[in-house]
């Protein structure tokens, strides 16, 4: 036994042959990405997870992810087909859970977020759109912002000096805009005569984009798009997302809504851009919080918010494009 090995043995360490330290590129890439997501440092060493389940090259448990995604998709189809206005309840519950996940992570990072008015205000933003349309949604957002600012100002009593007030209120309003406000456009769409169809167009485009990005990224991904924010996202995956999303939007806009085919092409292109930005925004938030997922509710996905990152900005863009052109 060499002196180096002896020293390692005395310290309770076990040295492995160099051959055993080799991993294939996909596994190594996944470990490095996980380490970067937790540490925020692209140079961080790989972190092994002894409890990890069999995963795909994206670092997820692919069978679980497919099962959960299929179940959520079936729920959306049943609600929109049988009781479209129940979509408000589905979105409201999902946004409440997503808001809870994000505020919990922010609190763990040392921020003081007025969670109660943010949760209640988020529901107001969504539900006021039912009777009052966009006016109700805007009023709910403005009211939520004002109440949260006042709540944070006095949450330690009238005699206490607020600390980190600007930071905490800014983050709170960011969350209100990021989650319930953007989600409210998914519920506003359902009030149209072809509202269920419009939501289906949104969902089909986002799913096609995800599938195209995954397939192209796994098979051809070699050129990172923004490695400092999301090391796994590649330009090849972006092209795959664009191709699939445009085809999906083209088909859904013409067949479901009966609109001009070029509207579908435009919507597909814009949704890929906004969906990618949504992914990157959440990736940066998680990187700054030094976490991998927002939650653990959905096996193979993480939390509810981890499935909404691209859907939220896409809901607004879909509402805008269809309201203007269809």
**pLDDT one digit per residue (tens) for the chain, 326 residues:** 444 444 444 444 444 444 444 434 433 344 444 444 444 444 444 444 434 444 455 555 667 667 777 888 898 999 999 999 999 999 999 999 999 999 999 999 999 999 999 999 999 999 999 999 999 999 999 999 999 999 999 998 888 899 999 999 999 999 999 999 999 999 999 999 999 999 999 999 999 999 999 999 999 999 999 999 999 899 999 999 999 999 999 999 999 999 999 999 999 999 999 999 999 999 999 999 999 999 888 776 788 999 899 999 999 999 999 999 99
Beta strands in the chain (DSSP E): 224-226, 230-234
Output the CA–CA distances (angstroms, integers) from residue 272 to 122, 146, 239, 314, in the order listed.
26, 33, 9, 8
Q: Provide the phi-psi class of 253: left if phi over 0, else alpha when psi is between -120 and 50, else beta.
A: alpha
Nearest to 180 by CA among 210, 245, 136, 228: 136
Global confidence as pTM:
0.79
- Distance in angstroms between the alpha carbons of the first and the last residue of the chain: 76
């Amino acid at each position: 036994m060499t002196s180096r090995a002896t020293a390692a043995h005395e310290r309770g360490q076990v040295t492995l042959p160099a051959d055993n330290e080799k991993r294939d590129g996909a596994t190594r890439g996944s470990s490095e990405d996980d380490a970067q997501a937790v540490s925020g440092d692209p140079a961080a060493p790989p972190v092994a997870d002894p409890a990890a389940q069999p995963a795909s090259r994206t670092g997820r448990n692919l069978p679980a992810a497919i099962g959960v995604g299929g179940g959520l998709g079936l729920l959306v189809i049943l609600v929109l087909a049988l009781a479209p206005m129940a979509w408000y309840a589905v979105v409201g519950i999902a946004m409440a859970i997503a808001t809870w996940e994000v505020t919990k992570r922010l609190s763990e990072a040392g921020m003081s977020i007025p969670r109660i008015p943010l949760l209640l205000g988020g529901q107001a933003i969504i539900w006021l759109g039912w009777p009052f349309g966009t006016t109700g949604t805007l009023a709910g957002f403005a009211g939520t912002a004002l109440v949260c600012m006042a709540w944070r100002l006095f949450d330690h009593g009238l005699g206490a000096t607020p600390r980190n007030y600007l930071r905490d209120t800014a983050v709170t309003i960011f969350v209100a805009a990021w989650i319930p406000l953007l989600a409210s456009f998914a519920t506003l769409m359902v009030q149209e005569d072809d509202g269920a169809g419009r939501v289906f167009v949104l969902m089909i485009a986002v799913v096609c984009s995800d599938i195209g990005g995954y397939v192209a990224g796994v098979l051809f991904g070699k050129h990172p798009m923004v490695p400092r924010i999301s090391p796994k996202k590649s330009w090849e995956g972006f092209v795959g997302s664009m191709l699939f999303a445009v085809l999906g939007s083209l088909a859904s806009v013409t067949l479901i809504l009966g609109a001009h085919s070029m509207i579908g092409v435009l919507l597909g292109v814009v949704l890929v851009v906004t969906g990618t930005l949504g992914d990157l925004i959440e990736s940066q938030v998680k990187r700054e919080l030094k976490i991998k997922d927002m939650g653990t509710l959905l096996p193979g996905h993480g939390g509810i918010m981890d499935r909404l990152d691209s859907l939220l900005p896409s809901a607004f863009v879909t509402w805008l494009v269809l309201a203007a052109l269809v």
